[in-house]
Structure 1
Amino acid sequence: MGILFTRIWRLFNHQEHKVIIVGLDNAGKTTILYQLGYLDTYSVLSEGHEDAGSPMSRWYSVFVIVVVDSTDRERISVTKEELYKMLAHEDLKKAGLLIFANKQDVKDCMTVAEISQFLKLTSVKDHQWHIQACCALTGEGLCQGLEWMMSRLKIR
């Protein structure tokens, strides 16, 4: 899996692309970045930027990665509210949206279909989006999400 990540990130390194990763606390952002080998970058960018109105979301970005804790049914409404605030922001109006439905390895977690339905993703018409089941601890599903991002870059 590490070889595939390396190949994908090398493609990103030939051009400058801004990607922001957001999610509620304990959603799995840090673990995903550990898997990708980019924790140092994350540590610098994430300090104090947990909400969608943060300076981080004001950067022009090609992609927004939203990490959802699939076990956190109580706060999925907070994720939905923040997601739509972020998507409405002028600087993100052309950004692609990748949603990682994390913690799919946990029994009784919300499925990708449930998360998609709750977040009303089919109503998102102004952004290309993809929702990907994943387990940040094992890395399962992360490659597929990154491959989707790469395919969107080729279209632009």
Structure 2
Amino acid sequence: MGSWFSKLFSTQEINIAMVGLDNAGKTTILYQLRLGETVTTIPTIGVNVESIKINNINFSVIDLGGQSKIRPLWRHYYEGTQGIVFVVDSSDKERIEESGDVLRKMCKNELLKDCALLILGNKKDIEGAVNEDELTKLLKLEMIQLKYLVKSVSATNNEGLTEAFIWLSENVCH
């Protein structure tokens, strides 16, 4: 009974890498979840590491810069990662194809083969943003072998973020 009782009140820790093109909203999402408010951010050059807690689950999130010169460094953070959050600016149709190319290339990395993949179509509150079905098609996700979920969210309004991270917590390998 002791182990059951301790599991009931224990806090699980999940290691997450948050990636995506620059200006997709990764850091805004991270701080919305961490602080419960929208903060003014600057482009991430390198990494931010933060812990966020959702439903008694601690997520250790590595927020990796998305500029093209930084993306080759992402692979150095994959080891030990249980889940990937890939953020796409769903209002920037011109860069969605590039996001898909980057995403599909990333998913071929052997270190990620057992990871759950959460794809956040951020900025759903902006007029012209594509919905989840359109985003799935535009990113060409049929080519991805990982278990994934596409979720439209708004970092500034905190819409859909908690539900998305709950899905991630339920689908990572422990």
Distance across 2 between alignment mates of 1:45 and 1:27: 12
TM-score (norm 1): 0.78
Select between 62-71 and 52-61 the one with higher mean Cα deviation: 52-61
What does 1:69-148 align with in structure 2 at a 5 Å threshold?
A: 69-124=89-144, 126-148=145-167
Decide which of 29, 51, 54 is 2:26's aligned counterpart.
29
Which sections of structure 2, spanning at least 5 residues, go unmatched? Answer: 1-8, 40-47, 51-60
Alpha-carbon separation, structure 2, partners of 1:44 and 1:122: 27
2:88 corresponding residue in structure 1: 68
5+ residue gaps, structure 1, are 1-9
Partner-residue secondary structure (3-state), 2:71: coil
What is the rounded CA distance, in whole Å, between the counterparts of 2:161 and 2:66 in structure 1? 25
Q: From the CA coordinates, give the structure whose radius of gyration is larger.
A: 2
User: Do the aligned partners of 1:80 and 1:119 also contact (CA within 8 Å) in 2?
Assistant: yes
Q: Partners in 2 of 1:117 and 1:128 — Cα distance?
A: 16
| C-alpha RMSD of matched pairs (Å) | 2.8
TM-score (ref. length: structure 2):
0.71
Query: Greater share of helix residues, 1 or 2?
Result: 1
Structure 1 Cα separation of the partners of residues 82 and 124 of structure 2:
26
- Aligned identity (percent) is 31
Q: Measure the CA separation in 2 of the matches of 1:76 and 1:55.
A: 21
Match of residue 64, structure 2, among 39, 42, 46: 46
Paired with 2:119 and 2:159, the residues of 1 have a C-alpha distance of 14
